[in-house]
Every structure is written in structure tokens, then in C-alpha cells.
Amino acid sequence: MKKQKVFENFIHGIFLILGLITVGCVLLITIYLIVSGIPAIQKIGLWDFIFGKEWASTAKEPSYGILPFILTSVYGTAGAILIGVPIGFLTSVYLAKLAPAKIRMVVSGAVSLLAGIPSVVYGLVGMMVLVPSIRNLFHIPDGASLFAAIIVLAIMILPSIINVSITALEAVPKEYEDASLALGATPVETYFKVSVPAAKSGIAAAVVLGVGRAIGEAMAVMMVSGNAPNLPELFGSVRFLTTAVASEMSYSSGLQRQALFSIALVLFLFIMLINAALNFFLKRSKEE
């Protein structure tokens, strides 16, 4: 009996340690980012860093303003949400409520596949197909632009939006819908006036998850956005927060490198905010 208890405690201990590894990693990353991100902000000045409009990290008189990156990340994410959410939302309503079993199987298979494609492949296809087509379609000198990045991001966030929304819609009790149908509402009326409002917290969580995915993406947008540190324009070459870190890190040194860590810190704060929002919506969805 006693032996068994020791064994139980031992196993509990192992689980606890494994759980703490995750917590430890998060703590380690957070502390590391803060410690290595703060010095450059102190040197440059918080205001000049966040609201500076010029980034020239290797110039003789370097300037480190990341407003262009922040705005680009915000606009890029907003654009991706604007395009991705309607498509993803309607797809999930169709799949959860309307689609015949066979079509549903094929479409959800395709969605899972889309989720599994590595981001570098999105970038490559964007670079080889999307960028030249944007160039020809809009008669602009170069297709690598914020617009190209928005399109790529919109496609990349589709799977998260669709999957989470479907789960939320399927969790709506069937009695709600039956009652609505029994009162004479058509199926489509029922879905949009009963099911969707009942699942709205889950759908909001899906959107926030999409935002998180879009703002954190680096590889794919780096290959299609042109990477010049300009203030964002829809058809201009832009640099995101993520790509600002990724593109200069390998050769950077001194204050430039420290400033890159500061950019990572800013990005990290954005992601934390988004996560807080996500938790809020998920909690509310559970309470309902």
C-alpha cells in the first residue's frame, strides 16, 4: 500500500516537472526578451523608437524608428482579417450546418491540408505566382507589396478561423435550432439568427486566433512584401515587425542587434495582448 503511494507520488512529480518545463520556457523567453530588449529602448528613447518614422540601422548616423513596422503589421493584419474572416466564417457555417457529408469531408480535408502547408511554401508560391500577377493586374512596377502580404496572410489564417468556428457552431445545442425551425423559420434564417449568435464568443475567439497567426508570421510575408522600411502603402514595399527582426538579425551587431531585440519585445507585447483577448473570449464562450 505504502509502496504504491510512493510510486503514485513519484509519477505525480514527473508530471509536475514536465508541466513546469513549459512554464519555464515561457518565463525564460519573456525574461530574456525583456532583458535584451530594454537597453536599446533606453539608448534610443521610447518615443523615438516607437514613433520614429525612419529606420536606417547601418547608416553612419543610424536612426531606429519602428513606426513603419508597427503600422505595417497592424494594417497587414487588419487587411488579412478583412478578407479572411468573411470567407472563413461563411465556410464554417456552410460546413457545420449546410454541407452534405461528402462535400464536408472533401472541404475539411482541404482545410486541414491548408493548415499543414509550411509558411515558406506560401511565401514561395506568393513570390513566383502572386507577386508577378499583382504586377500585371494593377500595372505597377513591382508586385511585392503590402497587398501581396495581405492576400498571403488571409489565406494562411483561413484554417484557424474555419476550424475554431466549426467547433463553436457545432457546440450550439440542437434544441435551439429545432425550436427556431418549429416556429417556422427557414433553415438559413435559423443558422444566422440562432446558431451564429449562440456561437458568437467562439467565433470571436477564432478571429482573434487569426489575428495572432497573421501578426506573428514572418517567413511568408518576408518573401512577398519587398522589405523596404517604408511607411505602409497598399502597393508599396513594406516591412513587418516580424520581418524586421528576421531580415537583419544574421549580420547585425551592437546597437542594431539590441534594437532588433527591442522590436521582438514590442511584437511580444502585441501577441500577449492578443492572447489576453483570446482567453477572454474563450472564457466567455465557456460560461455561456
Partner 1 sequence: MKKIITLALAAVFAVSALAGCSSRQKGGTVSTDGSTSMEEVIGVLGEAFQEKYSGMTFTYNPTGSGSGIQAVKEGRCDIGLSSRSLKEEEKADGLIETVLANDGIAVIVNPKNEVSDLDVETIAKIYMGEITNWSELGGNDAEIVVIGREAGSGTRDGFESITGTEDACKYRQELTSTGDVITTVSQNPDAIGYASLAAVSDQVKTLSVGGVMPSEATVKDGSYVIQRPFVLVTKEGTELSDAAQKFFDFATSDEAAPFISQAGAVPVK
Q: Residues interacting with partner 1, by CB under 8 A?
A: 56-60, 120, 127-128, 131-132, 135, 141-144, 219, 222-223, 226-229, 237, 239, 246-253, 256
- The least CB distance from residue 143 to partner 1, in Å, is 8
209 neighbors 115 (Cβ within 8 angstroms): no
Q: How far apart are CA 152 and CA 118, in angstroms?
A: 12
- Which of 40/203 has CB closer to partner 1? 40
- Which of 71/219 has CB closer to partner 1? 219
The separation between the first and the last C-alpha atoms of the chain, rounded to the nearest angstrom, is: 44
3-state secondary structure of 186: coil
- The least CB distance from residue 61 to partner 1, in Å, is 8
- The least CB distance from residue 39 to partner 1, in Å, is 19
For residue 226, list its beta bridge partners. 238
Q: How far apart are CA 125 and CA 187, in angstroms?
A: 39
Residue entry with cell 468573411: 86
Q: How far apart are CA 65 and CA 44, in angstroms?
A: 9
131 neighbors 59 (Cβ within 8 angstroms): no
- Which of 83/125 has CB closer to partner 1? 125
- The least CB distance from residue 254 to partner 1, in Å, is 9
CA dist list (Å): 160 to 23, 202, 281: 24, 12, 15
- The least CB distance from residue 89 to partner 1, in Å, is 34
- Which of 84/143 has CB closer to partner 1? 143
- Which of 131/266 has CB closer to partner 1? 131
- The least CB distance from residue 71 to partner 1, in Å, is 18
Residue 22: how many CB atoms within 10 A of its CB?
9
Three-state SS sequence of 207-228: HHHHHHHHHHCCHHHHHHCECC
Considering only CA atoms, which of 20, 31, 51, 45 is closest in space to residue 268?
Answer: 31
- Which of 47/251 has CB closer to partner 1? 251
- The least CB distance from residue 49 to partner 1, in Å, is 17
- The least CB distance from residue 248 to partner 1, in Å, is 6
- Which of 127/207 has CB closer to partner 1? 127
Q: How far apart are CA 62 and CA 54, in angstroms?
A: 9
- Which of 2/139 has CB closer to partner 1? 139
265 neighbors 33 (Cβ within 8 angstroms): yes
280 neighbors 208 (Cβ within 8 angstroms): no
